[in-house]
Amino acid sequence: MVNGLFLGAIYALAAIGFVLIHNVSGSVNFSHGALVLLGTYLGVMYVDIASVSMWLVLVLVALTMVGIGMLLELVAFRPLEGKPFVAVFISTLALGLIIAQVILLVWGPRPRAGTALVRGQLTVGSVTVPNQGLIILGLTLAVVAAQWVMFHRTRIGIRLRATADDSVTASMMGIRTGRNRLLVFGIAAALAGVAGVLIAPLSFVDPSRGGIDIMIKIYIAVVIGGFGSEVGAAAGGIVLGLAEVLTAGYLSATYRDVIIYSLLIAVLVLRPSGLFGQPTLREA
């Protein structure tokens, strides 16, 4: 169960970035899974080239991904503003495949595993907890708290919310909506990159799938938690991680996808807006 909590925290980090982009730009970024994959390989690259500490690697990956996220917003998302959902869906899916092909071209098809931020474990009674997991959980809680404070207690957060609510009116009131979107895409890409670095020590990362697997899990986490809610995305990630690990531990890894999709269907039937989403009038 503890491992499920830690895995869920990583999904939560990636899912929060996905929701931030949707809330501020209205876009659904289906290349977000590929950005997680890119974060993993950037982390491996920094370790191989410079042999720096993993804490510095985490910072370097986050800063690199901020630049990549902003670049993607300018060249791949801004031209899609106002376009139909299908166009955005196909374009962002294609963008994810392009990122995956770049990863294959640069680092090759061999699955890679990352290095843990910290080693060792903490034993409390009969429960043994890896220190890496505690770091992941603490980092996720800090990100959830920081994004809530930013959006509800800072001027930039108010501008971002105004951009999300009505970008045209916000622009007429002097808010630089384009700059706000750049900032959010940078933050979201940084979160995806950090999630990629953190997930690498837990399992081999296979570039051949192009990040599709992690993208599906991010999307399921967001739907379970409630589309549009950052806290919901974090909760959905935790629920997803727990479901995966508990199913593998008490039943079989074979049934993992069955349980996850059954959980998704149950949430959609009982609460279509998700656990933390705002219910519609019809649903209420």
Rounded mean pLDDT, 72-77: 87
129 pLDDT above the threshold of 60 = yes
Q: What rounded mean pLDDT belongs to the chain?
A: 83
Digit-coded pLDDT (tens) for 228-276: 788 888 888 889 888 988 888 888 878 888 888 888 888 888 888 878 8
C-alpha to C-alpha distances, 7 to 31, 202, 238, 277, nearest whole angstrom = 21, 8, 7, 23
Please report which confidence band the pLDDT of residue 17 belongs to, taking 50, 70 and 90 as the band edges.
confident
CA pair distance 101, 108, nearest whole angstrom = 9
Please report which confidence band the pLDDT of residue 281 belongs to, taking 50, 70 and 90 as the band edges.
very low
Q: Report the pLDDT value the prediction gives residue 177, as an integer from 0 to 100.
A: 80
Q: Report the pLDDT value the prediction gives residue 115, as an integer from 0 to 100.
A: 76
Q: Report the pLDDT value the prediction gives residue 210, as an integer from 0 to 100.
A: 63
Rounded mean pLDDT, 131-144: 83
**Per residue, what are the HEC states of the chain?**
CHHHHHHHHHHHHHHHHHHHHHHHHCCCCCCHHHHHHHHHHHHHHHHHHHCCCHHHHHHHHHHHHHHHHHHHHHHHHHHHCCCCHHHHHHHHHHHHHHHHHHHHHHHCCCCECCCCCCCCEEEECCEEEEHHHHHHHHHHHHHHHHHHHHHHHCHHHHHHHHHHHCHHHHHHCCCCHHHHHHHHHHHHHHHHHHHHHHHCCCCCECHHHCCHHHHHHHHHHHHHHCCCCHHHHHHHHHHHHHHHHHHHHHCCHHHHHHHHHHHHHHHHHHCCCCCCCCCCCCCC
Q: Which residues contact 161 (CB under 8 A, 6 or more apart)?
A: 151
CA pair distance 158, 152, nearest whole angstrom = 7
CA pair distance 96, 265, nearest whole angstrom = 26
Side chain identity, residue 40: T
Rounded mean pLDDT, 114-120: 76
Q: Report the pLDDT value the prediction gives residue 137, as an integer from 0 to 100.
A: 84
Task: Express as a percent the part of the chain with pLDDT over 90.
Answer: 9
Q: Report the pLDDT value the prediction gives residue 68, as an integer from 0 to 100.
A: 94
Side chain identity, residue 206: D
Q: Report the pLDDT value the prediction gives residue 280, as an integer from 0 to 100.
A: 53
Q: Report the pLDDT value the prediction gives residue 60, as an integer from 0 to 100.
A: 92
158 pLDDT above the threshold of 60 = yes
Q: What pTM was computed for the model? A: 0.85
Q: Report the pLDDT value the prediction gives residue 178, as an integer from 0 to 100.
A: 83
Please report which confidence band the pLDDT of residue 284 belongs to, taking 50, 70 and 90 as the band edges.
very low
Please report which confidence band the pLDDT of residue 28 belongs to, taking 50, 70 and 90 as the band edges.
confident
Q: Which of these ranges, 30-39, 71-80, 128-137, has the smallest mean pLDDT?
A: 128-137
CA pair distance 26, 190, nearest whole angstrom = 19
34 pLDDT above the threshold of 50 = yes
- Whether the Cβ atoms of residue 247 and residue 256 lie closer than 8 Å to each other: yes
122 pLDDT above the threshold of 60 = yes
